[in-house]
Amino acid sequence: MNEKSRGTVEGILALLFWGSTIAFSRSLADKLGMLTAASYTFLLAGGLSCTYLIISRRLRGILHLSRAYLFGCGVLFVVYMTSLYVAIGTASNRLQVLEVGLVNYLWPSFTLVTAVPILGRRARATLLPGCLLGFGDVLLAAAQAGGAWQVFVGNLETNWSPYVLAFVAAVCWALYSNLTRRWAGGARSGAIFPSRNRTGTRRPTTRLPGRNSVD
């Protein structure tokens, strides 16, 4: 398999895994507790990632990356995953889980906006209207998921913290994406590998009260 075909296959697999993140995270959080589920998930992911780096002899390359990259992007990754898992775990029902997931998908718009000051990109006239349109689409999709705008507003009023956390997660991922490119350039060894371990070890045994029902 050539490089282009392998990249296509990896991209498709990434979409499948990414698309199942919200549902899988909620299911796991209901069984283990939101922070415990996040800790175990990223301890496992971090262990597998470090094993891969050792086998491929790329672990030493991480030590040559800038401290700003390792610690700055590491903190953003930990905050992102913690915020997202807590947002999913504290959602009142399945509908609110879906709405929280949609709010988190504001990150592409935030990535484009923050690329202007962080990477020095030139903003075109269509940037702001496009981001506003994307923001509006997310709100519309979240409202339509419940069948009516009043349902969305009601969920927001009764349990607003998951939406705020999902919003924070979206901002953190946008900053992480752009700062990775600024601080690491074209480095193949990323901060995401050690950051998985940091996320997992942050609260490895914490279990907040979960909900047995997500109806």
CA distances from 120 to 51, 70, 110, 116, 135 (A): 36, 21, 15, 5, 23
Low-confidence ranges of the chain (pLDDT < 70): 1, 4, 145-147, 185-215
Q: Which of 108, 179, 183 is nearest to 138 (CA)?
A: 108
Q: What residues have CB less than 8 Å from 108, skipping those under 6 apart?
A: 134, 174
Q: Is the dihedral of CA 169, 23, 196, 182 positive or negative?
A: negative
DSSP annotation of 122 reads P
Q: How far apart are alpha carbons 200 and 198 in whole angstroms? A: 5
Longest dimension (CA), the chain: 55
Which pLDDT tens digit goes with each residue over 152-174? 888 888 999 999 999 999 999 99
Residues 203, 35 contacting (CB under 8 angstroms): yes
Do the Cβ atoms of 116 and 109 come closer than 8 Å?
Answer: no
Q: Which pLDDT tens digit goes with each residue over 19-33?
A: 777 777 788 777 777
Residue 117's contacts (CB-CB under 8 Å, 6 or more residues apart) are none
Q: How far apart are the first and last CA of the chain?
A: 45
Query: pLDDT per residue over 179-203, tens digit each?
Result: 988 887 655 444 454 544 444 444 4
* CA distance linking residue 5 with residue 3, whole number of Å: 6
pTM value is 0.75
Instruction: Give the CA-trace dihedral at 133, 139, 142, 148, to 10 degrees.
Output: -120
Contact assessment for residue 127 and residue 193, using Cβ atoms and an 8 Å cutoff: no
pLDDT the model gives residue 208: 44
Query: Three-state SS string across 79-104, please?
Result: HHHHHHHHHHHHCCCHHHHHHHHHHH
Asked if 35 contacts 206 with a C-beta cutoff of 8 angstroms, the reply is: yes
Q: What is the pLDDT of residue 178?
A: 92
Tokens encoding 165: 């956390």
